[in-house]
Amino acid sequence: MGNPLRDRRPLAELAGQGQVIEITEKIGDFGRLAGIVERDLAALDPDKLPRDWRDSAVTGRLVFGFMDAQQRVAVLEGEVAATIDAVCQRCLEPFRLILRSELHLLPVMSGDSALADDGFEVWELDDETVCPADIAEESLIMAIPFSAMHDPGETCRDFDAEASDASQTTRPFAGLKSQLDENR
């Protein structure tokens, strides 16, 4: 038997075995996720590029089972997490971004969404076999925000300096309203 995280197997087989997969991998082991992080970090000056970013841990747990007693509807539950290096879209400096994804998936064949249940997200499949690593990777990719920024409690290096300078900004049109009001 190979690697249960990387092997492509029928979903019904994984659920029938009650397969539990513990994930302890590196970002570099997930090609698409690593590519996204690499493209984001490419905007940095080489001296600001985080070292060994590909070695950041991806952890998680995937549990396959059935939704129904007749064991006809397979489900996948669990969680995946990673801390990636990203570029803050506010200050354009590197920072560590924590990604977390809770999985409550109802994998179904394309077009078969009639099984949708309130507690599960429908996950359409093109094939009856799945690769658990692909699901974990896709979940982490979907957890990446559109505009990655420092958390509100953290401060951006350049952004805070600009904010303090904003109070001293000249406003060339500030007196225009009062001049217009006087002329009426």
**Structural domain contains residue 95:** yes
Average pLDDT over residues 54-65: 96
pLDDT tens, residue by residue, 124-137? 888 889 999 999 99
pLDDT, residue 68, reads 83
DSSP assignment string, 37-69: HHHHHTTS-GGGSPTTGGG-EEEEEEEEEESST
**Which amino acid does the sequence have at 67?**
M
**Structural domain contains residue 141:** yes
- On the question of pLDDT at 65 being above 60, the answer is yes
CB 37 within 8 A of CB 84: yes
From the DSSP assignment, how many helices (H) and strands (E) are in the chain?
5, 7
**Which amino acid does the sequence have at 182?**
E
Average pLDDT over residues 25-29: 96
**Structural domain contains residue 159:** no
- The larger pLDDT score, comparing residue 170 to residue 29, is at 29
Domain count, the chain: 1
By C-alpha distance, which of 129, 74, 69 is closest to 107? 74
- The Cα 7–Cα 25 span in angstroms is 15
- CA dist 117 → 62, 74, 81, 113 (Å): 19, 12, 25, 9
Structure tokens at 133: 């690593």
* Neighbour count for residue 63 (Cβ, 10 Å): 16
- On the question of pLDDT at 160 being above 50, the answer is no
pLDDT tens, residue by residue, 82-125? 999 999 998 889 999 999 999 999 888 776 655 566 678 888 88
What range does the domain containing 149 cover? Answer: 9-154
**Structural domain contains residue 52:** yes
Average pLDDT over residues 47-54: 92
CA dihedral for 46, 48, 52, 56, sign (positive or negative): negative
pLDDT, residue 19, reads 94
**Structural domain contains residue 140:** yes
- On the question of pLDDT at 152 being above 60, the answer is yes
Mean pLDDT of the chain: 85
**Structural domain contains residue 28:** yes
